[in-house]
A and B are shown apart, each in its own frame.
Chain A
């Protein structure tokens, strides 16, 4: 077992050695520009890109012509939201999303608002899922796009995508999903799920950083997005810029491997995750955040009441995890995702996200359980709040001096 142990696979994943191997030739001997149509160097690169396009398309049940390569999911989200807004502005100016989306979606929507668009940010239920009735109420004749993430990055909840897309389509809107956390982890099928646009990223699925894709439906309906970057008209005119051939080859290989191994991996990881969660919720006053029945197989977000997340992570030596605590971010605000589930600030401050991955072993999980239990116990021994709780003092009865 190698220390430290990486349990932050929602942030990024280590690259699979098989992906690296596939990429290597495209850095030097096969260095051609995929857009060079007049010599062998270009043809070799183009062939590699075409193959990768098929690999990506296959994983999500799409056709290879529907895949636009980008620099990552942030760009894909921006291209989809701003691009649809611009392309369909004659049809309407209303976009619906949720408060628990990734910042790439939320901030792209804020940009659209500055351009005169109207955006509805739907709340979520206590378990993190969208209330379908609330979504339907928000739909108007002006709604051109519904953008709701597939699986949440912080708590792992998986939204009812089929039902959501059906509502969007019923009102004539397109449905877009940021599927960064879901693709390659659980089955995603753009046709069965009714998805018109989908953002994905390589580095969350054991591929390289700096490359991703946007799926753009071509049939039923034919969807178009306005390019957000001017240039040579690559990627069917939707995304200019010389293609990142090694990155794209890596994304393709990563998708192929996920397609082959996802089913068994999901089973293996959910067993390990469930073990971790069961052992840690034995601790008093620990709570799992988000719906546990509709959840990605590799994620558990747990709040340990009366201890603070950053302090806890410091005690969880040799474990790389993340926290919804304010102290880990520059903002000093605890996680907006956890707060939108209705969690009080103190519980949001006390949360730890465990993100398992392809290289996580049972031995590592056993070690993580031990270290986390010790850390929680250690910090509760130091916690005045824990002492008060144990003495039966209602913390809400105390007048805290907010600072």
Chain B
């Protein structure tokens, strides 16, 4: 199976690799997946006083598509309000990276990581987490 150019680009030159201070109340951290399943994503957001994401970082254990999905997610997150970030859909990632069906779970994981990071930020700041109504198949 060949990878799309965009997956290769994100994989070869991953954007925003790194770690934010997870103890800061301005940082939300999402850790999703499991080592046994072959992919784990950690996605972090730095949020300013206007609820805008000013920085995003990731680290991912997984295949090329998982790494590319999380790299792309961090790019999209920067500059978005957390409300807009909540609207990022895994199918947007699938489309942008031209992921084949067998790799759709990588985009689902990225969406889960975004939502987990936002909810971590919300809980830290006294807000209720937002339950996702979406059901992935």
A binds B: yes
CB distance from B100 to the nearest CB of A (A): 12
* A384 contact from B37, B61, B63, Cβ within 8 A: B61
A325 contacts across to B, CB distance below 8 A: 38, 63
Q: Taking A402-B34, A403-B34 as contacts, is the C-beta distance between A384 and B42 under 8 angstroms?
A: yes
Interface residues of A in 354-403 (CB under 8 A from B): 381-387, 395, 398, 400-403
Interface residues of A in 311-365 (CB under 8 A from B): 311, 314-315, 325-327, 330, 334, 344-346, 349
CB distance from A331 to the nearest CB of B (A): 11
Say yes or no: A308 contacts B102, CB within 8 Å: no
Measured as residues with beta carbon below 8 angstroms from the partner, the interface class of chain B is 20 to 34
Q: B77 at interface (Cβ–Cβ under 8 A)? A: no
CB distance from B95 to the nearest CB of A (A): 21
Say yes or no: A349 contacts B60, CB within 8 Å: no
Complex alpha-carbon distance, A334 and B63, angstroms = 13
Interface residues of B in 52-72 (CB under 8 A from A): 59-64, 66-67
* B59 contact from A314, A384, A401, A402, Cβ within 8 A: A384
| Interface secondary structure of B, over-half rule | mixed
Q: By the criterion of a CB under 8 Å from any partner CB, how many residues of chain A are at the interface?
A: 30
Q: A306 at interface (Cβ–Cβ under 8 A)? A: yes
Complex alpha-carbon distance, A315 and B60, angstroms = 14
Q: B14 at interface (Cβ–Cβ under 8 A)? A: yes
Q: A307 at interface (Cβ–Cβ under 8 A)? A: yes
CB distance from A313 to the nearest CB of B (A): 9
Complex alpha-carbon distance, A383 and B32, angstroms = 13
Say yes or no: B38 contacts A384, CB within 8 Å: no
B86 contacts across to A, CB distance below 8 A: none
Say yes or no: A400 contacts B35, CB within 8 Å: yes
Interface residues of B in 87-104 (CB under 8 A from A): 102
Say yes or no: B63 contacts A327, CB within 8 Å: yes
Complex alpha-carbon distance, A383 and B102, angstroms = 22
Complex alpha-carbon distance, A311 and B31, angstroms = 19
Say yes or no: A403 contacts B109, CB within 8 Å: yes
Say yes or no: A403 contacts B60, CB within 8 Å: no
Q: Taking A387-B19, A403-B33, A403-B105 as contacts, is the C-beta distance between A334 and B38 under 8 angstroms?
A: yes
Nearest B residue (CB) for A330: B102
A75 contacts across to B, CB distance below 8 A: none
* B36 contact from A327, A344, A384, A387, Cβ within 8 A: A344
B19 contacts across to A, CB distance below 8 A: 387
Closest 8 CB pairs of A and B: A400-B34, A346-B35, A345-B36, A384-B42, A310-B63, A384-B59, A314-B64, A349-B38
> Which positions in A face B, CB cutoff 8 Å?
306-311, 314-315, 325-327, 330, 334, 344-346, 349, 381-387, 395, 398, 400-403
> Which positions in B face A, CB cutoff 8 Å?
3, 11, 14, 17, 19, 31-42, 59-64, 66-67, 102, 105, 108-109, 112
